[in-house]
């Protein structure tokens, strides 16, 4: 014992005090002794100093050792107290031990003093260490009990021997329910068996394992946990228990999943945008070609007459051209580049008007049910295009139920909030009208759902589908400012949900407008501008047969140069929309300065984003979509010039 020992010695006889001090120092103890003689001195020293041991005489003139013992027990009960007295009866000794004395040594036998001091200090050290450990354990216990993480202790077979309150909060199992239960009560079946195998191999090898689980609560709810599981070893290094510290990471996993979905939506949106640009370019080139094919087949049929043997062959050419034209229109719908004629309409009325036709379309083995909201908000959309959306979705549902089933069409008012928009990047916050089409068919897996809106993607066998039905729906809804989602599982049917922005204006009637026949004009000067030579040649011939004077050019610059040399009035500008260097809109603006009375008719097989933003795809603009038949061209020109 080489450390400095602080001793408080209560003794009224200086000689006895010196003897005690000499005895202690002779034993080789390094000590600092504070000697006091009176009660006041003892009290002051007791309260001011930090002593390792107290020595006290039992009998003093103005004080007594038992009173000193009681005061010491009150002020510093953990410090050893030894009576060093000349006389001390048996009763006094017993009373002293009862009051908390550590030992007593008679002055006549001071040889016991140093061993008694050593033993008292050793036992005090043990008590102090136990107290410290107990306090540390108490702190640890409080930390475990109040931990924000789940803490579980199991035996080496995985049976629970301890679980903190966070375990109950997270899993729903009480401690009584969990004790002696195997940790497999938390298994959800969604975590790979290989994970558990690796876990047991790691911890049984004496190492820490870290990983994640999808566990199941008592109520069946699935949750994610991040876990650190370590072996607990005894002093011989043998594993006796396992300690698991786990954190509920469900919210983080949900956020990661939502973020991944948004990234996938963004990638899908960018892919669809790229496909759309490709499709619109293909549609533009095909529409130019188809206009020529359809136009010349019509002109040849007129020239050869109805009795000519070539008439049937020419009719087959025309029909094939019309089927191809239908495909290009669907590509334009997907590309969001159609000429729309939006009106304020009641979606309920549109669905009801279509119901009889849809029933004939799906057949008798399929039941069609409609559920409409009685106070549905109006929307702004092209009724013809929305009808096509409904028909395409119903046909798609019919094809998913070859042995019969049920189709449900539903309308409702909904409000798309921030939560929805955060998980659907192309949707906008606000009031919307929902149109849902559901079926009880064979459904789709996630891989098919990821591609169903792509042009020409189909799961039908060859020859039974173009793969453009749903891509057309997608394009129409997106161009109309809406959003479309699909919910499906194999064997569980499919539901398409469409959200179109609501409007406050009253919907118009969907009665069929009366078509008025245009008068035959046959005179006037038309400036024809088209960069495709074959198509320009067809249009020129068609209009010349009607008696019109045609000025033609292959570009906007050549057209302006031509009219500056022309001596006369121009009645109509018939121009392609998309041309190199100068588009149709720019040409029309410049020509209007030179010929303010000239009327304008745009034609195009597609429109690019620039033209759309400048408002060409509205009913306020005279627009002729390619491909068109010669008689359609003549009718539109005559009607426009007769206005």
pLDDT at 415: 92
- Whether domain 147-248 has CATH 3.30.9.10: the reply is no
Helix (H) or strand (E) holding 299: helix 250-304
Contact 179, 198 (CB under 8 A): no
What are the domain boundaries of the chain?
A: 5-141, 147-248, 255-334, 343-501, 525-642
Contacts of 473 (CB under 8 A, 6+ apart): 388, 389, 392, 393, 453, 484, 496
Question: Phi first, then psi: what are they for 61, rounded to 5°?
Answer: -60, -45
User: Could you give the CA distance from residue 212 to residue 227 in angstroms, rounded to a whole number?
Assistant: 6
The tens digit of pLDDT for each residue in 265-317 reads: 666 666 656 666 666 666 667 777 777 887 788 778 777 777 777 878 877 88
Asked if the domains at 5-141 and 525-642 fall in one CATH topology, the answer is yes
The C-alpha atoms of residue 337 and residue 333 are separated, in whole angstroms, by 6
CATH homologous superfamily for the domain 525-642 = Response regulator (3.40.50.2300)
CA distance 216 to 170: 10
User: Which CATH number fits the domain 5-141, given the four candidates 3.40.50.360, 3.40.50.2300, 3.40.47.10, 3.90.1200.10?
Assistant: 3.40.50.2300
Name every residue whose Cβ is closer than 8 Å to that of residue 564 and which is 6 or more positions away in sequence. Answer: 594
pLDDT at 87: 76
> Domain 343-501, CATH 3.40.50.300 — does that match?
no
Residues 6+ apart with CB under 8 A from 245: 149, 150, 151, 227, 228, 229
Whole-prediction pTM value?
Answer: 0.45
Q: From 3.40.50.360, 1.10.287.130, 1.20.1050.10, 3.40.50.300, which CATH number describes the 255-334 domain?
A: 1.10.287.130
Residues of the chain with pLDDT under 70: 1-2, 137, 141, 143, 262, 264-284, 326-341, 425, 456, 459-467, 505-522, 606-620
Residue 232 Cα distances to 154, 167, 371, angstroms: 10, 20, 63
| Residue 285 neighbours by CB distance under 10 Å | 13
Q: What is the C-alpha to C-alpha distance for residues 389 and 383, in angstroms, rounded to an integer?
A: 10
Label residues 14-46 b or e (16+ Cβ within 10 Å = b): eebbebbbebbeeeebebebbbbbebeebbebb
Alpha carbon distance 39, 69 (integer Å): 11
Classify 641 in phi/psi space as left (phi over 0), alpha (psi -120 to 50) or beta: alpha
β-pairing, 103-106 with 599-604? unpaired
d(CA 315, CA 584): 33
As a whole number of Å, the end-to-end CA separation of the chain is 121
The tokens for 463 are 């020859």
pLDDT for position 99 = 87
Cβ-based neighbour number of residue 267 at 10 Å: 11
Q: What is the 3-state secondary structure (H, E, C) of 493-559?
A: CEEEEEEEEECCCCCCCCCCCCCCCCCCCCCCEEEEECCCHHHHHHHHHHHHCCCCEEEEECCHHHH
């Amino acid at each position: 014992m080489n450390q400095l020992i602080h001793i408080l010695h209560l003794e009224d006889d200086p000689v006895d005090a010196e003897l005690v001090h000499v005895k202690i120092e002779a034993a080789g103890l390094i000590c600092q002794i504070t000697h006091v003689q009176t009660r006041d001195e003892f009290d002051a020293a007791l309260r001011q100093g930090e002593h390792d041991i107290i020595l006290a005489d039992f009998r003093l003139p103005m004080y007594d050792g038992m009173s000193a013992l009681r005061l010491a027990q009150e002020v510093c009960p953990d410090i050893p107290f030894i009576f060093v007295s000349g006389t001390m009866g048996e009763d006094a000794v017993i009373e002293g031990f009862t009051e908390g004395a550590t030992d007593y040594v008679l002055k006549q036998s001071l040889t016991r003093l140093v061993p008694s001091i050593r033993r008292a200090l050793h036992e005090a050290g043990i008590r102090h260490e136990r107290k410290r450990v107990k306090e540390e354990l108490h702190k640890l216990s409080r930390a475990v009990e109040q931990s924000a993480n789940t803490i579980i202790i199991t035996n080496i077979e995985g049976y629970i021997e301890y679980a903190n309150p966070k375990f109950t909060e997270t899993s729903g199992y009480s401690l009584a329910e969990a004790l002696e239960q195997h940790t497999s009560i938390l298994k959800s079946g969604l975590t790979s068996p290989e994970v558990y195998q690796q876990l047991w191999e790691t911890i049984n090898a004496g190492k820490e394992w870290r990983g994640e689980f999808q566990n199941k609560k008592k109520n069946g709810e699935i949750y994610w946990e991040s876990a650190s599981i370590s072996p607990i070893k005894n002093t011989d290094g043998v594993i006796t228990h396992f300690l698991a510290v786990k954190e509920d990471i469900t919210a983080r996993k949900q956020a990661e999943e939502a973020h991944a979905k948004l990234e996938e939506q963004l990638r899908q949106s960018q892919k669809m945008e790229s496909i759309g640009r490709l499709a619109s370019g293909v549609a533009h080139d095909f529409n130019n070609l188809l206009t020529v094919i359809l136009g010349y087949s019509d002109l040849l049929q007129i020239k050869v007459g109805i009795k000519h043997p070539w008439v049937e062959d020419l009719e087959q050419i025309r029909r094939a051209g019309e089927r191809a034209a239908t495909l290009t229109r669907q590509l334009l719908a997907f590309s969001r580049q159609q000429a729309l004629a939006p009106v304020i309409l009641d979606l309920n009325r549109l669905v009801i008007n279509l119901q009889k036709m849809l029933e004939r379309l799906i057949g008798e083995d399929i039941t069609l049910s409609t559920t409409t909201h009685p106070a549905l908000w109006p929307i702004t959309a092209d009724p013809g295009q929305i009808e096509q959306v409904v028909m395409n979705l119903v046909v798609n549902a019919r094809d998913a139920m070859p042995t019969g089933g049920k189709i449900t069409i539903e309308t409702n008012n909904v409000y798309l909030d921030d939560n929805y928009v955060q998980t659907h990047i192309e949707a906008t916050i606000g009031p919307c009208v929902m149109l849902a089409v559901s079926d009880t068919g064979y459904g789709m897996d996630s891989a098919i759902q990821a591609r169903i809106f792509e042009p020409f993607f189909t799961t039908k066998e060859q020859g039974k589908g173009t793969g453009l039905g749903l891509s057309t729906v997608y394009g129409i809804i997106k161009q109309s400012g809406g959003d479309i989602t699909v919910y499906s599982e194999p064997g569980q049917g499919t539901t398409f949900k469409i959200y179109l922005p609501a409007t406050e204006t009253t919907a118009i009637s969907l009665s069929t407008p009366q078509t008025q026949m245009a008068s035959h004009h046959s005179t006037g000067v038309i400036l024809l501008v088209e960069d495709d030579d074959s198509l320009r040649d067809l249009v020129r011939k068609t209009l010349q047969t009607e008696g019109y004077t045609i000025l033609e050019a292959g570009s906007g610059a050549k057209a302006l140069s031509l009219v500056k040399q022309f001596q006369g009035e121009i009645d109509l500008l018939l121009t392609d929309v998309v041309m190199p260097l100068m588009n149709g809109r720019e040409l029309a603006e410049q020509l209007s300065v030179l010929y303010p009375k000239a009327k304008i008719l745009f034609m195009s097989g597609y429109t690019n984003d620039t033209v759309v933003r400048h408002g060409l795809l509205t009913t306020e603009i005279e627009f002729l979509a390619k491909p068109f038949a010669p008689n359609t061209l003549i009718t539109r020109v005559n009607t426009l010039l007769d206005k």
